[in-house]
A = this chain, B = another copy of it.
């Protein structure tokens, strides 16, 4: 076992988590120990993977995904996590299923769960719906297991909802611990979570909400910047504030990218939609009023256009700590002159940090695998210790 693996096994063993037989829906529903356990288990799985150790802890079973929005990286992260642990990925494509025929969420959730260990859901299109839907699925499998209908209790893992994007922001946090050395080293660091201009429309609020709710818990000083009308869900801002208070972190709201970037150690410039527009859009979509949605889109794009100067430029980067803040993005970024004429970030800035953002993304499969492992295995530290000591190589073993 490598020194790093031994250290991480020790740390994981010291954390008392409550994730076994539970779901992972919102970071603020989990204790600090739970979050640290996810980070630690993810880092350990990544270390074992890089050393070629097989971490196949399941011999069979399904890892079901349900993507209610387009997805590349989350889809592949989920499938990778499933494969890493020995599960068979299976996508619930609602177009090919009978779900449309008036079947209840409870019934569908039960029917796909007889041999299922995890259900990963992405549902971020409608404000107020995504999290609600995940709770219904979680409730269904909880009841199914309690009633003896399901032989095991699959974990529901939030792969992005209208409120939070926990697999993303925990991958972000793991990335920060690697760049800055440790979780402790992040205390007092200044992170600018700021709105940025994009020629597209309707990007979810889950990433900025997830960032402001998570980062202050570990002593990070978050500065949130957005144009008027682009504020996040008030109850999540409240949660973030409370976390900051409790942990010695901080949440500051400012109204310009300049103010946010000032002396920042980390910048996270990213477009999102105005909440009021997302809410009106949700209503219109529920009513099936496609023409009004189109009209709304034009209004939203015009409104966006007024803030086209919210762009992460070289100039702005100079105002950060020593001019060398770490640039972050959940990808894909709207890069000026590359993926669009004018976007969230200047091409030269993105280029300099491209590999950083790729490394940031590269943690996600391991974060998801850690969530599956911690929710589905009773003594994860013990299991991973055994794996680190005894497991065969991932490639080329003959059993």
Query: Which A residues have a C-beta under 8 Å from some C-beta of B?
Result: 46, 49-50, 54-62, 64, 67, 70-73, 75-77, 79-80, 82-90, 92, 96-99, 101-104, 107-108, 110-112, 114-116, 144, 147-151, 200, 331-332, 334, 338-340, 355, 358-359, 361-362, 364-365, 376-377, 383, 386-387, 390-399
Query: How many whole Å from A90's CB to the nearest CB in chain B?
Result: 5
Q: How many copies altogether? A: 3
Given A80-B116, A361-B111, A396-B383, A60 and B86 contact (CB-CB distance below 8 Å) = yes
Query: How many whole Å from A203's CB to the nearest CB in chain B?
Result: 11
| New A-B pairs, 13, CB < 8 Å, besides A102-B334, A149-B359 | A58-B394, A59-B395, A60-B84, A60-B85, A71-B96, A72-B92, A77-B114, A80-B115, A83-B87, A83-B90, A88-B89, A101-B200, A111-B361
Cβ contact within 8 Å between B97 and A394: no
- Give the distance in Å from the alpha carbon of A251 to the alpha carbon of B258 in the complex: 68
Q: Which of A77, A89, A114, A338 has the most CB of B within 10 A?
A: A114
- Give the distance in Å from the alpha carbon of A149 to the alpha carbon of B331 in the complex: 15
Partner of A76, one of B62, B72, B102: B62
- Chosen A-B contacts, 7 in total, with CB atoms closer than 8 Å, are A61-B394, A71-B97, A77-B114, A111-B361, A114-B365, A149-B358, A150-B362
Cβ contact within 8 Å between A54 and B60: yes
Residues of B within 8 A of A148 (CB): 355, 359
Query: How many whole Å from A306's CB to the nearest CB in chain B?
Result: 22
Cβ contact within 8 Å between A75 and B97: yes
Cβ contact within 8 Å between B97 and A90: no
- Give the distance in Å from the alpha carbon of A339 to the alpha carbon of B99 in the complex: 11
Cβ contact within 8 Å between A75 and B59: no
Residues of B within 8 A of A73 (CB): 98, 111-112
Cβ contact within 8 Å between B79 and A111: no
- Give the distance in Å from the alpha carbon of A148 to the alpha carbon of B362 in the complex: 11
Q: Which of A88, A200, A361, A391 has the most CB of B within 10 A?
A: A88
Cβ contact within 8 Å between B49 and A70: no
Cβ contact within 8 Å between A376 and B395: yes
- Give the distance in Å from the alpha carbon of A352 to the alpha carbon of B6 in the complex: 52
Residues of B within 8 A of A150 (CB): 362
A369 to chain B: closest residue by CB: B115
Given A54-B60, A340-B102, A395-B58, A112 and B72 contact (CB-CB distance below 8 Å) = yes
Given A114-B80, A114-B365, A338-B104, A72 and B99 contact (CB-CB distance below 8 Å) = yes
- Give the distance in Å from the alpha carbon of A110 to the alpha carbon of B92 in the complex: 25
Given A149-B358, A331-B107, A392-B399, A112 and B76 contact (CB-CB distance below 8 Å) = yes
A143 to chain B: closest residue by CB: B355
